[in-house]
Amino acid sequence: MIYITGDTHGDIERFQDKSLKKLTAEDIIIVCGDFGFIWQGGEKERKTLKALAKKKYTIAFIDGAHENFGRLRSYAQEQWNGGTIHRVANNIIHLMRGQYYTIGSTTVFTMGGGESEESEMNGEDAWSGGSLPNTSELVMGAANIDLHGGKVDVIISHEPSSKIKSILSDQDKLGTMASINALNAFLEQLSENADYKKWYFGSFHIDKRITSKITAVYSDIIPLEI
């Protein structure tokens, strides 16, 4: 079975939830960005990844706005369920941007990336660049959706579409204006043109059902039902 959760930011407690003890090698947890377990390296980080690698289930994640993108790119690429991944460990994989996977009988489209505070302030990302998808990644994503007739069961992204980002930013207690970027615009077009059943995104650190099809996820671990 597929489960969805939000930004983990390197906190292993999410994977120590009692409800996960029942999971088997047939199960997969997808993290909606800001995975955070591949950061600066060091002994503590290696021990944490080793602990995650002992889990029976598969841990799959898209990248978010706060990742060490240079380190992510250093992992070998391979094909997995119809799309390209970075293999971190036997059971830990990075689902790359603009990819289309078939997991069991469920089709999944992934688009990681987001706008970090560092990129906004400095004009570049502090962790080796690449927090936002480039044009080729967006074009690849659109092509992969088109290749499958515009249909996909589940969309996984870190950021939401521009419309939803504006709504959630308006509801923010600080009243901050939404920063709409090319990724949000791409996701808005995707929401209007793709035939999908469910969409999950992270970034906002809230657990909230936006519509019957779209859910913002953070600490919840949601079993996928479509």
pLDDT of residue 117: 63
Query: Does pLDDT of 119 surpass 60?
Result: no
Q: State if pTM tops 0.85.
A: yes
pLDDT of residue 121: 39
State both tokens at 206.
């809230």
Taking only the tens place, the pLDDT of each residue in 146-193 is 999 999 999 999 999 999 999 998 765 545 556 899 999 999 999 999
Whether the Cβ atoms of residue 91 and residue 57 lie closer than 8 Å to each other: yes
Query: Does pLDDT of 123 surpass 60?
Result: no
Whether the Cβ atoms of residue 62 and residue 110 lie closer than 8 Å to each other: yes
CB burial of 74-93 (b: ≥16 within 10 Å; e: otherwise) equals ebeeeebbebbbbebeebbb
pLDDT of residue 118: 53
Give, in degrees to the nearest 5, the angle at Cα 124 between 45 and 215: 65
Whether the Cβ atoms of residue 32 and residue 60 lie closer than 8 Å to each other: no
DSSP symbols for 137-183: HHHHHHHHHHHTTTEEEEEEESS--HHHHHHHHHHSTT-PPP---HH
Give the residue from 113, 226, 203 showing the smallest Cα distance to 217: 203
**Residue 200, Cα to own-chain centre: how many angstroms?**
9
DSSP symbols for 97-153: TTEEEEETTEEEEEE-----HHHHHHSS-SSSS-SS--HHHHHHHHHHHHHTTTEEE
Query: Does pLDDT of 124 surpass 90?
Result: no
**Which H or E run includes 185?**
helix 182-193
What confidence category does residue 128 fall into, taking pLDDT thresholds of 50, 70 and 90?
very low
Residue 56 CB contacts under 8 Å (≥ 6 apart), including other chains: 23, 24, 25, 27, 91
Task: Report, as an integer, the average pLDDT of 86-107.
Answer: 98
- What is the C-alpha separation between 88 and 196, in angstroms, rounded? 29
